[in-house]
Homo-oligomer: A and B are copies of this chain.
Amino acid sequence: MSATATPSDFHAPSALDMNLIERVCVGDIVQRSADVYPDRIALVDGERRLSYAEFNARVDQLGHALLGLGLQHQDIVALAARNRLEMLITYFACARAGLICMPINLGLRASEIAFCLRDARARVLIAEHALRDVVEAARQEAPPELAHVFWFGGGSPAPAEDFDALLASGQTGPLEVLVRDRDVVQLLYTSGTTANPKGVLTSHVAVTIAGLSNAIVHQCTPDMSALVGLPLFHCAMLNSVAMPFLTVGGKLVLTQGFDPADSARLIDEHQINVMVLLPMMYGVWLSDPAYQGRTFPSMKRAMYAMAPMPPERLEAIHGMFPNADVVLGSGQTEFTPATCVQRPEHQWSKAATWGTATVMTRVAIMDEDGRLLPRGETGEIVYRGPQGMQGYLNLPAENHKSFRHGWFHSGDVAHIDEDGAIWFKDRYKDVIKSGGENVASIEVERCLLQHPAVADVAVIGAPHERWGEAVVASVVLAPGQQADEAALIAHCREHLGGFKVPKAVVIVSEFPRTGTGKIQKHLIRAELKGLFDAA
């Protein structure tokens, strides 16, 4: 063997065979668990249950059916659904068929969803009947490539648009498609520094390794169960909760939106061991007298996302989940989560950190010139590892920027301490993280500038107990113009997805500016820091 030999020189079987035998394919996650635990319950959705064998059979059948529509390798299947059986069947059917699944963020407006469909040139849309209004509105502006729409969950769709009929049209039995390691399995749109959502393409290797890595983080075993309490169209639920539990053969209990009574009932009924919720959801339980003194002993990991919590809140959560580690995990769509999770031994002492790097992710701190900084020094958080995205769709300039200096740039500023824990400081990117969603300041600013009364605007995030950060607009009115907070918020509500609408608009006479005239957002942030303290 010489320097010019490649792995393909080593074996004689056809490349097709070897790739089928040894492929890293997200679709195989369900297959392997079905091999070993065919009769165990994989998914619970209300009164409905799917064993692994049933789940796996539907994945095969829907995969066959999708390919039967004439879809080609790596074509995109959009998915507008809450946490339903059909949502996960579709996701894994796409994975197994070599298609790309694009779960749509239901926090977006119809026009934004339409943008995503066009940007992705989605070929098929599978949608839940309960979302008919927004989906139909988006469909009006859908791309010409969108040849098929299928509905599930009610509404008696026409046979040609019926998800169940589509599923039934697929042949049964194993679907075997050659999937390469870095083929794309999912396309999730994320808000960010640009006005339009950005499509994040993630590979089979990334999602498979995230499943394994998170199974190590959560110490998942096949007898464990997880509550899927946040939407599966987010990477947090899809990749850091659903994937590890399905990888080891555990049980997922799906909910559609967070209802405190319903979630409490499900935790007891299914002896839930792991969940990830937003801090405000824990707050709902804690502030409701009905849950005073109530405990959930089955919980082993009560995780929270988005933002640290004060010690009193943590203490109260520990009281409610007496056998659980209460730890924060973080990540982002571009770098399949979790990238950092608090270690159990840090859950009190370093509750204000973002945790430490997970087993397959390198986390480092970089200065603006691309130099990695030693521990203790402050700079931008950068990542390396196979959980990273393949890139943004159709945004070559953004890709170049995101991966400059050989690392993925998070846009977050922090230092790493002597124990590897990450202390978040600030944000480079002008993005607000509100209620688990990213909001690009610039998008909200552009919207407000379209209002005739607005001369200038600076949108920032202010700390908020419920939302982590709340979108706040600081506005300078145009000379001679008048507009109050309610009018400006109403204007935003007309043009923006719900989570992007400012929670407050503050009218000021002028902005703090640098010598060169640039608005000093950090001063505005400091001034508005306490805005929601009384709330």
Contacts and interface: CB of A to CB of B under 8 A. Distances in A.
A330 interface: no
A385 B22 contact: yes
Contacts of A388: 21-22
15 contacts: A1-B393, A2-B121, A3-B74, A7-B201, A7-B203, A7-B390, A10-B399, A11-B201, A13-B400, A13-B403, A18-B390, A21-B384, A181-B205, A212-B213, A212-B359
A357 B393 CA distance: 37
A18 B75 contact: no
Nearest to A74: B5
A459 interface: no
Interface stretch (A24-32, A441-449, A477-485): A24-32
Contacts of A219: 219, 221
A396 B12 contact: yes
* CB-CB nearest 3 A-B residue pairs: A11-B391, A3-B72, A12-B396
A93 to B, nearest CB: 18
A121 B17 CA distance: 28
B362 A28 contact: yes
Interface of A: 1-3, 5-7, 10-13, 17-18, 20-24, 28, 31-32, 35-37, 72-76, 120-121, 176, 181-184, 201, 203, 205-206, 208-209, 212-213, 215-216, 219-222, 247-249, 343, 356-357, 359-364, 384-388, 390-393, 396-397, 399-400, 403, 406-408, 420
A24 B406 contact: no
B183 A7 contact: yes
A181 B184 contact: no
Contacts of A22: 206, 384-388
A32 B216 contact: no
A17 B182 contact: no
Contact of A400 (B12, B362, B363, B364): B12
A227 to B, nearest CB: 21
Contacts of A3: 72-75
Given A359-B32, A399-B13, A212 B205 contact: no
Contacts of A403: 11, 13, 17-18, 21
Contacts of A184: 7, 10
Contacts of A248: 216, 359
B396 A11 contact: yes
